[in-house]
Structure 1
């Protein structure tokens, strides 16, 4: 029998840009994709962290993983592990501080477009 380590393994950490590293062009790129915008709209509707499995997107699992990575690396979302689940939350506070009104404007425009086009 192998002795147990007194310290449990560290949780897997994911890389996120610090607020000062978030760039407008990266955020705009992340929000320019319809699938990523759909993910952000879902997150914006709640203050809660959401498991990746909650999102219903019309792409494969590997493509969904790519979209979440783009959102995380651009600074739009924060992700962490809660047990075995990866959860995500919108970095609304950071985005509002860096780019006042941008996120709300994009979300409002996306909602209007969805109403207009039925999507």
Structure 2
């Protein structure tokens, strides 16, 4: 049980850092704005994306957050990573930018699986 919690928290903290802290700190940089433009999205999409990433990552790290909200956060991040990969592939072709979201998706999957292993009994 303790091993499951450790794995869950390591994976979840990584998601929190990659999807909550980093976007919050870097979203208004010129590089981030150009990244959104480069993929063909309007500027307001980048702002909305950051807001939802920060909110979702906060929901994942709050232990007492409602289970249903956590499920929505996991689903939202899953869609985000899949569509980020598709967007990069469509604009740039096969490359690291198209592949990297799948690495983060794998970390998210570990968090999700160990969330249910650790807290699944409490959900019933």
Give the alignment's TM-score, normalised by structure 1.
0.32
Q: Relative contact order: is structure 1 or structure 2 higher (C-alpha 8 Å, sep ≥ 6)?
A: 2
**Structure with bigger gyration radius:** 1
Give the alignment's TM-score, normalised by structure 2.
0.31
Structure number with the higher strand fraction is 1
